[in-house]
């Protein structure tokens, strides 16, 4: 919680919690229940961690409304409907506090003539903001970030150190772009030539990130050849992800690290992708699809299919039926070999 400090009474009011413990006790940080000190708030959401609540040094622990301790606890209890969500709210508050403390333009940095840095915004040292860029209220641009010409950045968006946003990209409100991410690099378009070489196809489109999108460290979202690569509201992308040109990622979709989405793919809303899953170009995927780790999708997935796995990816029930047979193949091979030898002996 950085240097934020609350009494437990104030914290209970903030979270709508029922307090069991001293109202005037002060806390100023957040910690895991097994590592917390007297000034920390921890949480207990998983019953497997219950033994820690009887030994923790935490000043207070968020617990479920119906939690019944089997032993006395030194920590005060803050009873809430969902401890994990309440703890997340405190993490958000701490993060906002850290970012709110960053204001103004550090030097050396470059702000193109005519570009306005709002009074509550931040531009870190060695950052670059190109001509025609538009920066919304409360924007935070960390050191060594690059914001190209004509980029628009919505209110409350945070762009971390070393991130690169190419020209003309549109970023919505409350987005987070982590260190090393690249938004708006050229799509991978090259036309084969008669002599076996490739001619680059100019990429003249853009990238649009709608509100509340998070882009992980070293993730790359390519600009469209024409039109836009679109990442819709609430999408969360982990580190080291590739989104190809002209792709559309449906709202509130989440993707784990090293997912690869080829050009012109349409991913439905509220989808979930495990790590290292890949989708071939021009595929169309339905809303609510769950994609297993390392799945390879080379065909359109019809509506009604909710979970796929494997490469080439198939629905998970078919996959596990096939996998059961696959595991038996060595034994089946030995039995077949023995049967062939017996038949050969009988034939002789």
24 within domain boundaries: yes
pLDDT value at residue 4:
75
Q: How many domains does the chain have?
A: 1
Cα 32-33-38 angle, rounded to 5 deg: 100
pLDDT value at residue 2:
46
Query: What does the alpha-carbon distance between residue 124 and residue 118 come to, in Å, rounded to a whole number?
Result: 14
Q: Are 296 and 262 in contact (CB under 8 A)?
A: no
203 within domain boundaries: no
How many of the other CB atoms lie within 10 Å of CB of 131?
Answer: 13
Q: Are 85 and 21 in contact (CB under 8 A)?
A: no
In this prediction the pTM is 0.85
27 forms beta bridges with 6
Query: What does the alpha-carbon distance between residue 188 and residue 109 come to, in Å, rounded to a whole number?
Result: 31
Q: In 203-292, where do the E strands start and end?
A: 206-209, 214-215, 220-222, 228-231, 236-237, 242-243, 248-249, 254-255, 260-261, 266-267, 272-273, 278-279, 290-291
Residue 100 is classified by DSSP as: H
Residue 341 is classified by DSSP as: H
| Pair type for strands 40-43 and 60-64 | parallel
CATH number at residue 57: 3.40.1390.10
> Which among 52, 144, 178, 245 is annotated as catalytic?
245
Question: Exposed (0-12), middle (13-18) or buried (19+): which is 104, by Cβ within 10 Å?
Answer: exposed
20 within domain boundaries: yes
pLDDT value at residue 1:
45
Residues 6+ apart with CB under 8 A from 12: 18, 19, 23, 78
Query: What does the alpha-carbon distance between residue 206 and residue 246 come to, in Å, rounded to a whole number?
Result: 9
| Pair type for strands 296-297 and 198-200 | unpaired
pLDDT value at residue 231:
98
41 within domain boundaries: yes
Cα 185-190-195 angle, rounded to 5 deg: 150
Domain that holds residue 16: 6-100
| Low-confidence residues in the chain, pLDDT < 50 | 1-2
Is position 252 annotated as part of the catalytic site? no
pLDDT value at residue 3:
55
Query: What does the alpha-carbon distance between residue 214 and residue 222 come to, in Å, rounded to a whole number?
Result: 16
75 within domain boundaries: yes
For tokens 């002599």, the residue is 195
C-alpha radius of gyration, the chain, whole number: 27
| 136 closest CA partner among 123, 149, 150, 117 | 117
301 within domain boundaries: no
How many of the other CB atoms lie within 10 Å of CB of 16?
Answer: 10
94 within domain boundaries: yes
27 within domain boundaries: yes
């Amino acid at each position: 919680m950085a240097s934020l400090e609350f009494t437990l009474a104030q914290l209970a009011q903030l979270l709508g919690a029922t307090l069991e413990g001293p109202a005037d006790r002060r806390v100023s940080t957040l910690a895991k229940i097994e590592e917390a000190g007297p000034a920390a708030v921890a949480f207990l959401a998983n019953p497997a961690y219950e033994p820690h609540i009887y030994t923790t040094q935490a000043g207070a622990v968020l617990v479920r409304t119906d939690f019944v301790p089997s032993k006395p606890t030194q920590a005060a209890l803050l009873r809430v409907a969902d401890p994990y969500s309440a703890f997340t709210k405190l993490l958000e508050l701490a993060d906002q506090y850290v970012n709110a403390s960053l204001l103004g333009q550090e030097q050396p940095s470059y702000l193109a003539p005519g570009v306005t840095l709002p009074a509550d915004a931040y531009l870190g040292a060695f950052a670059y903001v190109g001509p025609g860029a538009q920066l919304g209220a409360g924007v935070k641009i960390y050191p060594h970030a690059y914001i190209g010409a004509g980029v628009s950045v919505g209110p409350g968006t945070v762009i971390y150190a070393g991130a690169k946003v190419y020209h003309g990209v549109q970023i919505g409100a409350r987005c987070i772009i982590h260190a090393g991410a690249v938004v708006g690099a050229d799509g991978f378009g090259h036309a084969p030539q008669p002599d076996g070489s490739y001619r680059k196809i100019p990429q003249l489109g853009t990238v649009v990130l709608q509100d509340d999108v998070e882009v992980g460290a070293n993730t790359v979202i390519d600009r469209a050849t024409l039109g836009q690569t679109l990442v819709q509201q609430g999408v969360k992308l982990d580190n080291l992800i590739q989104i190809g040109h002209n792709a559309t990622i449906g709202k509130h979709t989440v993707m784990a690290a090293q997912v690869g989405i080829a050009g012109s793919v349409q991913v439905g809303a509220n989808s979930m992708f495990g790590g290292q899953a890949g989708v071939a170009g021009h595929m169309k995927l339905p809303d609510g699809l769950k994609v297993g780790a390392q799945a390879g999708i080379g065909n359109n997935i019809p509506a009604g299919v909710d979970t796929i796995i494997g490469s080439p990816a198939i629905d998970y029930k078919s996959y596990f039926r096939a996998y059961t047979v696959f595991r038996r193949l060595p034994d089946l091979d030995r039995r077949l070999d023995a049967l062939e030898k017996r038949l050969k002996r009988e034939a002789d």
